[in-house]
Structure 1
């Protein structure tokens, strides 16, 4: 969604509200496409002292693979974003501001990266997830597979053969 900053400043309330859904089903985060349902964005852009204040709430339902057992995990994400948009900068202070080059601002280009950067890097299906067996690949949350998972240091493998005799 695009908003003209001059229209925001010219409006009677010097504020424009927005409320829309965005399809991010093809957006990749890492090796996954976590947004299977539309992402809801609601907020406003207000004109303040030669700048524009963008306040938004992003709500998304995300689906990612468990980092241990690869089971799909679905969770709700809610993110509050507040950005100051400026057309020009004095004193090179861009710490808390975003420099915009044109009068028209694409909210999707500003808000979607905020959502992606706030995504969880490691998602677990549950805190005590046992993961997959490194030998056979069975999900250990469903039961033990019976594989011998004792790792023998390859430098001492010759000694293990002597002990087995």
Structure 2
């Protein structure tokens, strides 16, 4: 949905509200397509003493997996933005500024990046998730596997052999 900004600059219109449902099912993030639920955006574009401002909210469900046990997770993501709209390309580096390329703006161009910035690298099903056993793959939250808890990393086996030989010499 494009909003024609000339309506704000050429008349007494103070603001133009917007509300839309986006389909981001094909967006790829970290090798997955996590936005399988509809994405809701809403807000308004306003003219405040000659300065164009876009205020909006974006909400969706982010589908991912627990970083430790791989259980599927649905995380509610929400982002709010308050951006000044400018047609000056020199101001592109400003954080709270969106550079316009014409006489209209698509609110999704402003809000979708704000949503993606809310995504964390990892999510956990619960803070004390025990994860999967690295040897048998059992979910440690559900079962206690019989794998040896003191298995030594093969990269440190040579060091373990040195410690064992030192213990043999001391006895």
Counterpart of 1:20 in structure 2 is 20
Counterpart of 1:70 in structure 2 is 70
Kindly indicate whether residue 158 of structure 2 is the aligned counterpart of residue 155 of structure 1.
yes
- The 3 A distance-change label for structure 1 pair 91 and 161 is closer
- Aligned-partner Cα distance in 2 for 1:11–1:23: 33
Structure with bigger gyration radius: 2
Structure 1 position 112, deviation (Å): 0.7
Counterpart of 1:5 in structure 2 is 5
TM-score, reference length from structure 1: 0.86
- Aligned-partner Cα distance in 1 for 2:92–2:118: 27
Structure 1 position 87, deviation (Å): 1.2
- Aligned-partner Cα distance in 2 for 1:68–1:93: 37
- Aligned-partner Cα distance in 2 for 1:160–1:151: 15
Q: State the aligned residue count.
A: 163
Contact 2:5/2:103 (CA < 8 Å) preserved in 1?
yes
TM-score, reference length from structure 2: 0.83
* RMSD between aligned residues: 2.4
Query: 1:118-159: per-residue Cα shift (whole Å, max 9, x none)?
Result: 112221101110001111222111111211132422232435
Stretches of 4+ moved more than 3 A in 1? 89-95, 157-163
- Gaps of at least 5 residues in structure 2 are none
The 3-state SS of whatever aligns with 2:111 is helix
Counterpart of 1:61 in structure 2 is 61
- Gaps of at least 5 residues in structure 1 are none
- Aligned-partner Cα distance in 2 for 1:9–1:15: 10
Counterparts of 1:129-140 in structure 2, within 5 Å, are 129-140=129-140
Query: 1:16-65: per-residue Cα shift (whole Å, max 9, x none)?
Result: 10111101111122122221210110100012343310000111112111
- Aligned-partner Cα distance in 1 for 2:3–2:96: 21
Counterpart of 2:33 in structure 1 is 33
- Aligned-partner Cα distance in 2 for 1:15–1:21: 20
- Aligned-partner Cα distance in 2 for 1:93–1:161: 60
More helix by share: 2
